[in-house]
Amino acid sequence: MSIVAVCVSPTHTMSKPEVAEINLITGLGIEGDAHLGEKVQHLSRVKLNPDQPNLRQIHLIHSELHDELRAKGFTSGVEPGQMGENITTKGIDILSLPTGTKLILGDQGAIIQVTGLRNPCPQLNGLQDELMKACREMDEEGRVTKRKAGIMAIVLSGGIVKKNDTITIEFPPEPHTPLVVV
């Protein structure tokens, strides 16, 4: 279980460029990222209530999603950072982690806590037509049954995180609570 890439952007853009390392700041997020803050930074959520806590300090996507999308013929949006993630993982079924799971990143003591799922948004279609649809599974009635566009987390303990760092999983006490959109 490892980190494939780390990405950051100081502006609210869909894609984030890959960087050599990111600095996680306890309780705030990633230094230099547009979503850094104790309170919500996601633009549409700020409009609704700027005083809500920032449960979306860090966005993670599993590289296996990129592989799945490439196999379906997608050529845009399938590289690290292009779908807006800060950390691209490998070897972890991040979508099945329970709420409150802690991820220990690298060997410098950085710890993040999973808060919920990212809801695939229409901006994904700006990368390639139908990408948003490919990041969801729907039932016959058109209800979303699975969201595959990654998970969100908060920073519990800061530190430097970089490509090829290991990831250690620490599950919360049972009973586990499945992830919901945050």
Q: What CATH code is carried by the domain that includes residue 51?
A: 2.40.33.20
What are the Cα distances from residue 67, in Å, to 71, 75, 138?
A: 6, 11, 20
The pLDDT tens digits for 48-83 are: 788 899 999 999 999 999 999 999 999 988 999 999
Q: Which helix (H) or strand (E) holds 63?
A: helix 63-71
pLDDT beyond 80 at 117: yes
pLDDT of 173: 96
pLDDT beyond 80 at 46: no
Asked if residue 139 lies in contact with residue 62, where contact means CB atoms within 8 angstroms, the answer is: no
Is 178 part of a structural domain of the chain?
A: no
Task: Residue 34: give the domain boundaries.
Answer: 2-170
pLDDT beyond 80 at 181: yes
Is 29 part of a structural domain of the chain?
A: yes
Q: Tokens 């808060």: give the residue.
A: 115
Identify which of 103, 114, 111, 85 has the alpha carbon closest to the alpha carbon of residue 2. Answer: 103
Asked if residue 18 lies in contact with residue 3, where contact means CB atoms within 8 angstroms, the answer is: no
Asked if residue 56 lies in contact with residue 12, where contact means CB atoms within 8 angstroms, the answer is: no
pLDDT beyond 90 at 47: no
Number of helices and strands in the chain (H, E): 3, 13
pLDDT of 33: 97
Is 20 part of a structural domain of the chain?
A: yes
When pLDDT is averaged across residues 80-89 and rounded to a whole number, the result is: 96
Number of domains in the chain: 1
